[in-house]
Amino acid sequence: MKTDLPKTILLAEYAPPAYQVSTIDLEFRLDPHATRVTATSRFDRMAGAAADAPLVLDGAGLRLVSIMIDGAPVGPDRYDQQEERLVIRGVPAGFVLTVITEIDPAGNTALEGLYQSNGIFCTQCEAEGFRKITYFPDRPDVMARYRTTIIGDPVVLPVMLSNGNPVADETGPDGLRRIVWEDPFPKPSYLFALVAGDLALHEDSFTTISGRSVALRLYVEPRNADKCAHAMASLKKALAWDETAYGREYDLDIYMIVAVDDFNMGAMENKGLNVFNSKYILARPDTATDADYAGIEAVVAHEYFHNWTGNRITCRDWFQLSLKEGLTVFREQQFVADHQSAAVSRIHDVRVLRAAQFPEDAGPTAHPVRPDSYIEISNFYTSTVYNKGAEVIRMLHTLIGEDAYRRGMDLYFQRHDGQAVTCEDFIRAHADANDLDLGDFFRWYVQAGTPEVSVDTRHDPDAGTFDVTFTQTLAPTPGQPVKQPMVVPVRAALIGPDGAPLPMMLANEPADAPQAGALERVLVLSDRVTRFTFMQLPERPVPSLLRGFSAPVKLDTRAEDADLAFLMGHDDDPFNRWEAAQTYAIRVIHRLIADIGAGRPLVLPLEFREAFTRTITDDALDPALVAEALTLPGESYLAETMSRIDVEGITTARQFVRREIGRSLEPQLIALFDRLEAAEAGQPYAFETAAVGRRSLANLCLAYLGAAGGAAGLERAERRFATATNMTDALGGLLVLADQPGELSQPAFDAFYDRWKDEPLVVDKWFMVQATASRPDALDHVLTLMEHPAFSMRNPNRVRSLIGAFAASNPQGFHAADGRGYEFLADQIVALDAMNPQIAARLVGPFKRWRRYDDRRQGMMRAALERIMSRKSLSRDVYEMVTKSLA
Ligand code: TRP
Ligand code: ZN
């Protein structure tokens, strides 16, 4: 907690450290409330640093026991203990520093540094948690070799782990066990990890491409031993994929993953010893949904891929976070696309980007993929750094092509292995490997905001030409009033009247030019206005633009409804078929919102219903894609498409469409549901693309039927809920019942809780479904659930399931006209800030777009933010989010 004003850290002020560390020897005497840490490190002054440069160590919340240099005690006259620093003067050019500190893991509710989760000791050091363990230069450009000794009672802590390999293990006459781990690879402090506790081991092995055998060890609480198979299978796939897709082999003899229940984020890539939120490891068909299985596969792979993109090559400073995160998310997306339906996985990527990143780019905390300032780095683990960062790598891949991209990656790995580098270094590797100038492309790292691209087309039947003119604009964002045009790759095709793509010949282009006459081309926009004239087109084609969402922009194609309907049925790019359906649905909802505002009666347009009917009745289509196409855009993205967010309008219009579809297509939806359910009957659960698609379409049918509230639909929902043998189907039923009156919903919730009360991840779902249910007493129900014995402010998953889900995904409840939703959230942020600032700061999110609501809501949201601000002691985390929101 800070009382004076937190200071802003600037990229422009980066300076390399005066001292480097080659080795660190850590000894932990584990004790819940008084763990003693002895850190012995070899320091050397860097060439270029002044001879009198002080040694600056980071440290926070530590009890300092002693300091020695080369074995001699250092008295308080030689050091200054500042708030989060220890500055030692008069140190020699090379020396061994020994620091002894004492820490309180059991009292650590921030879950950063060394803490306990259900009695298991574990660490979380990214970004700046190592300083809560010992005094050390806790910055990623200091890379050292670690040797870790763990001392503990083997009866209480039968498993004691750290990075690398065990090199000694003995139990002394005092009954205490001492185990020593050594990690041969130099690493920054944020990749350090230690775990100790009573854990069950699920073991397997993997033979690498060069024939080395790697032990794969998954550690979970003993009660979860039967939920490890899917995570282990995912890990093996990830090791194999990185070998073929990127030529990257694993480099240690052991790869360990530990699952804990209390974790601030998804997972952490510590060298050789990942620590995971149990949500991204544990799965059994009856406890985890298809979405959970997919999340596990993606996150296990993501953390594994960090071994090369993050660990072997790390970030020079935290401004470069996207160097590892954007790249690793892109690698994760490629991996998922190769293992699941590529089109569906791309649709999911784009949904996440639009629901989370676009609002961020348009709001008060907009920042570039590489930020240039921060108050608290934990606040910059954002959708911009992760998801837009991944889009930047994807655009690079699209612009230069797969072969050039692979050459660039090879050079990056070869040139920078073992180093802490910058985003410029990454782009330079690609430029050098392919003899390209990527200077303008780098603007994607530096300029915040989502470019808006509009399209004008003109067909000249006599000349047989088709002009496509793109105009891009990029609105100002905080601190960036004026912008340069971006380099935007637009994958494009021109679809002929029969649905087949036409050859794309540009005017003034030699017939043997690289893409001349291709059926799909990458059009590169690099100016504010870019025009392309295509030849030999006597009939007007329908343009299919930004295929596969080839750039993170808002594209306004100005297409007619008829063109959208044509693309929905004919575009050979499955992503763009989906996109046409989304655009069409958004238009319909916007028109309905206008009708509501004007007091006109609501009617679902006939053409929309017909397009919908054609899609559900076409047996040739992939069920997964049908489900995606027929899922209406979410409330968050709809809000993003309106300059002034109309809370009631969005909910009413969207509900109206859902109800009308459910009502008018009841027979078709029932027939389809029954057919899909019959196809599944008697089959054991498998997380396999076709089955996932069938379950998702069946649940979508049920959701529409539920929205209409007819007896046939509700009966099916009740039956599915009661008889399901997997969690995907059970939840599909429960979600429908949740929106029904208490006589129907409450018995289902009670039965669900009763069955699953001992499975924390399922109890999270129980909280979440209730928190997001649409009911008039939504907030009161959440307040009741806050008193439930299973609720705890200490567990981030629980907080996200109840408070986070309500604020982010229950617009009717959170934005209720009386403003109580806002007061509730402000109260919870204040209460949590005293325990876990990272989680408290995340909860500020729903307040960030307060300026986009009506005057009354604006006033109430601002008052809630100001009330948080008026608190005497706020964490840096919450302070930064609230001040920026109010600015
Ligand atoms: N590097 C982690 C990842 O894979 C992110 C992460 C895990 C993290 N735990 C954290 C970031 C705690 C900040 C704080 O993406
Ligand atoms: Zn990551």
Do 370 and 463 lie in one domain? The reply is no
The model's pLDDT over 777-787, given as tens digits with 9 standing for 90+, comes to 999 999 999 99
Largest CA distance in the chain: 97
Among 130, 264, 320, name the best residue to mutate to test ligand 1's pocket (greatest count of ligand atoms within 8 A of Cβ): 264
Find the radius of gyration of the CA atoms of the chain: 28
Do 13 and 155 lie in one domain? The reply is yes
The pLDDT, as a whole number, for residue 562 is 87
Q: What is the CATH number of the domain that holds 821?
A: 1.25.50.10
Does 658 score more than 70 pLDDT?
yes
The answer for 197, left when phi > 0, alpha when psi is -120 to 50, beta otherwise, is left
The model's pLDDT over 38-54, given as tens digits with 9 standing for 90+, comes to 999 999 999 999 999 99
CA 71/CA 97 separation, integer angstroms: 8
- At residue 55, what is the residue type? L
In a domain, 224, yes or no: no
The pLDDT, as a whole number, for residue 447 is 98
Share of the chain above pLDDT 90, in %: 97
Do 330 and 475 lie in one domain? The reply is no
Do 91 and 18 lie in one domain? The reply is yes
Calculate mean pLDDT across residues 224-239: 98
**What are φ and ψ of residue 105, in 5° steps?**
-60, -40
Q: In what order do the strands lie in the sheet with 55-58?
A: 55-58, 85-88, 79-82
Q: pLDDT grade, residue 873 (50/70/90)?
A: very high
The model's pLDDT over 86-98, given as tens digits with 9 standing for 90+, comes to 999 999 999 999 9
Structure tokens at 436: 């390209």
The model's pLDDT over 7-18, given as tens digits with 9 standing for 90+, comes to 999 999 999 999
**What are φ and ψ of residue 620, in 5° steps?**
-75, -15
Of 74, 177, 178, 217, the closest CA to residue 135 belongs to 74
Does 710 score more than 90 pLDDT?
yes
Do 124 and 43 lie in one domain? The reply is yes
Of 164, 193, 222, which marks where a domain is finished? 193
Q: What is the CATH number of the domain that holds 433?
A: 1.10.390.10
Q: In what order do the strands lie in the sheet with 144-152?
A: 72-73, 63-69, 94-103, 35-45, 19-29, 144-152, 177-187, 165-171
The pLDDT, as a whole number, for residue 585 is 96
Atom of ligand 1 nearest to the CA of 112: 12
Place of tokens 């040139």: 415
The pLDDT, as a whole number, for residue 5 is 84
Active-site position among 128, 297, 303, 677: 303
CA of 127 to the centre of ligand 2 (A): 11
SS3 395: helix
**pTM score, whole prediction:** 0.98
CA 707/CA 695 separation, integer angstroms: 18
Do 12 and 125 lie in one domain? The reply is yes
The model's pLDDT over 177-210, given as tens digits with 9 standing for 90+, comes to 999 999 999 999 999 999 999 999 999 999 999 9
Cβ–Cβ < 8 Å for 199, 259: no
Calculate mean pLDDT across residues 112-123: 98
In a domain, 467, yes or no: yes
Do 414 and 459 lie in one domain? The reply is no
381 lines ligand 1 (CB under 6 A): yes
Does 664 score more than 90 pLDDT?
yes
Structure tokens at 743: 């006589």
> In this structure, are strands 267-268 and 165-171 parallel, antiparallel, or unpaired?
unpaired
In a domain, 780, yes or no: yes
Which ligand is located closest to the Cα atom of residue 274?
A: 1
Calculate mean pLDDT across residues 59-88: 96
CA of 268 to the centre of ligand 1 (A): 5
Q: What is the CATH number of the domain that holds 166?
A: 2.60.40.1730
CA 322/CA 369 separation, integer angstroms: 7
CA of 137 to the centre of ligand 2 (A): 22
For residues 82, 86, 89, 93, the Cα torsion angle rounded to the nearest 10 degrees is -160
The model's pLDDT over 502-528, given as tens digits with 9 standing for 90+, comes to 999 999 899 899 999 999 999 999 999
The pLDDT, as a whole number, for residue 353 is 98
264 lines ligand 1 (CB under 6 A): yes
CA 622/CA 626 separation, integer angstroms: 6
- Looking at ligand 1, which residue's alpha carbon is closest to its atom 1? 268
Do 475 and 360 lie in one domain? The reply is no
Do 466 and 428 lie in one domain? The reply is no
The pLDDT, as a whole number, for residue 83 is 87
What average pLDDT does the structure give for the chain? 97
124 lines ligand 1 (CB under 6 A): yes
Domain count, the chain: 4
Question: Which DSSP string corresponds to 710-748?
Answer: -HHHHHHHHHHHHH-SSHHHHHHHHHHHHTS-HHHHHHH
CA of 190 to the centre of ligand 2 (A): 12
Which ligand is located closest to the Cα atom of residue 327?
A: 2
SS3 646: coil
Place of tokens 């979440």: 768
Of 163, 193, 223, which marks where a domain is finished? 193
b (16+ CB within 10 A) / e for 796-828: bbbbbbbbbbbbbbbbbbbbbeebebbebbbeb
Q: What's the Cα-to-Cα distance from 768 to each of 208, 212, 697, 733, 736, rounded to whole Å?
A: 41, 44, 22, 15, 14
Is 325 one of the annotated active-site residues of the chain?
Answer: no
265 lines ligand 1 (CB under 6 A): yes
The residue range of the domain holding 855 is 757-887
Do 463 and 368 lie in one domain? The reply is no
Does 298 score more than 50 pLDDT?
yes
Do 458 and 441 lie in one domain? The reply is no
Calculate mean pLDDT across residues 703-725: 98
Do 466 and 424 lie in one domain? The reply is no
The pLDDT, as a whole number, for residue 2 is 43
3-class DSSP string for 249-318: CCCCCEEEEEEECCCCCCEECCCCEEEEEHHHCCCCCCCCCHHHHHHHHHHHHHHHHCCCECCCEEECCH
Place of tokens 């014995």: 789
Calculate mean pLDDT across residues 645-670: 97
In a domain, 332, yes or no: yes
